Amino acid sequence: EPEVTQTPSHQVTQMGQEVILRCVPISNHLYFYWYRQILGQKVEFLVSFYNNEISEKSEIFDDQFSVERPDGSNFTLKIRSTKLEDSAMYFCASSEPGTGNSPLHFGNGTRLTVT
Amino acid sequence: ILNVEQSPQSLHVQEGDSTNFTCSFPSSNFYALHWYRWETAKSPEALFVMTLNGDEKKKGRISATLNTKEGYSYLYIKGSQPEDSATYLCAFGDYKLSFGAGTTVTVRA
C-alpha cells in the first residue's frame, strides 16, 4: 500500500539554525499538509498546500516557516531560524483529490529537537 | 482554534470486553469529523471520515456514530483485543483539522 515517507526521522539542531524537513506524499494525492505535536499537547495544524500554493495556514505558521514542492514528488517544510519552542514531532500528510472529506494519510513523523 | 475534546483521556479494557469513548466538537458550521488510530512508533491511521448527522460507520470490530446537532461522536470497540491498544484521535474540520487530545486505550490480556 502506498505510504507517505518522511526524512529524517530525528533531527537535532541548535537554536537559530535552519532546518528542512522532507516528505514524499502519496503519488496521486493533490493535497499536502504539515501538522506538529509538541510533547504532551494536541496535534496542531500548520499548513495545507494545493496546486503549488498554500491554501490555509495557522497562526503558528509565521514568517519563519515555509513550504515548497521543489519537484513532482517532494514536499518540504523549512524553519528558517529555529527556536526552542519549535521542538516537536512534525507530521506530513497527504489526501486524495476531491473534497475536504478525504482521510489524511500521515507519515511517521520527524522528531525535531532544538537545543 | 476550534475546541475538540475527547474523553476519557485513557482507559483500560479487559480483552473481550467492549468499550466506547467520546469526541465533542462545535455543533455549528459542521464539515467533517475524522477518527484516527495512532499506535506507538507508527503514524496515525485513518479509521473513518463522517459527514452526515446520524452517520454510522463500521470497520471490523470498530464503529462510530455522529451527532452533528449536539456536537459529539462515539467510537465503539467491540470485543477488544490487545492489538486495539492505541491512541484514538478525533479531528474536526475541512482542509484544516482541529484534533482532540486523544483517548489512549490499553487492552489487557
Q: What is the full per-residue pLDDT of chain B (109 aa) written as tens digits? A: 679 999 999 999 999 999 999 999 998 888 999 999 999 889 999 999 999 999 999 999 999 999 999 999 999 999 999 999 999 999 999 888 999 999 999 999 9
Question: Residue A31 — pLDDT band, cuts 50, 70, 90?
Answer: very high
pLDDT at B50: 95
Distance of alpha carbon B24 from alpha carbon B66, whole angstroms:
10
Cα(B35)–Cα(A103) distance, integer angstroms: 9
Q: Which residue has the higher pLDDT, A102 or A76?
A: A76
The predicted structure's pLDDT at residue A16: 98
The cell for A92 is: 506530513
Name which of B97, B98, B103, B104 to mutate to probe chain A: the one with the most chain A Cβ atoms within 10 A of its Cβ.
Answer: B97
* Amino acid code (one letter) for B89: L
Q: Which residues contact A102 (CB under 8 A, 6 or more apart)?
A: A31, A95, A96, B49
DSSP symbol at B65: E
Given a cut of 70, whether residue A100 has pLDDT beyond it is no
According to the model, what pLDDT value does residue B2 have?
A: 75
Q: Which of A108, A113, A104, A79 is nearest to A91 (CA)?
A: A108
Amino acid A99: pLDDT:
64
CB of A47 closer than 8 Å to CB of A94 = no
B100 touches chain A (CB under 8 A): yes
Q: Closest Cα partner for A79 from A92, A67, A71, A93?
A: A67
Q: A104 and B97: CB-CB below 8 Å? A: yes
Q: Please give, rounded to a whole number of angstroms, the shortest distance from the CA of B97 to a CA of chain A.
A: 6
**Cα(B60)–Cα(A45) distance, rounded to whole angstroms?**
29
Helical spans, DSSP H, in chain A: none
Q: Which residue of A has its CA nearest to B92?
A: A101
Asked whether residue A64 carries a pLDDT value surpassing 70, the answer given is yes
In this predicted structure, the answer to whether residue A18 has a pLDDT above a threshold of 90 is yes
Cis peptide before B8 (omega within 30 of 0): yes
Say how far apart CA B107 and CA A43 lie, in whole Å.
24
Residue B90 carries which side chain, given as an amino acid letter? C
Which chain B residues have a beta carbon less than 8 Å from that of A25?
none
Contact B45 A106 (CB under 8 A): yes
Mean pLDDT across A26-36: 94
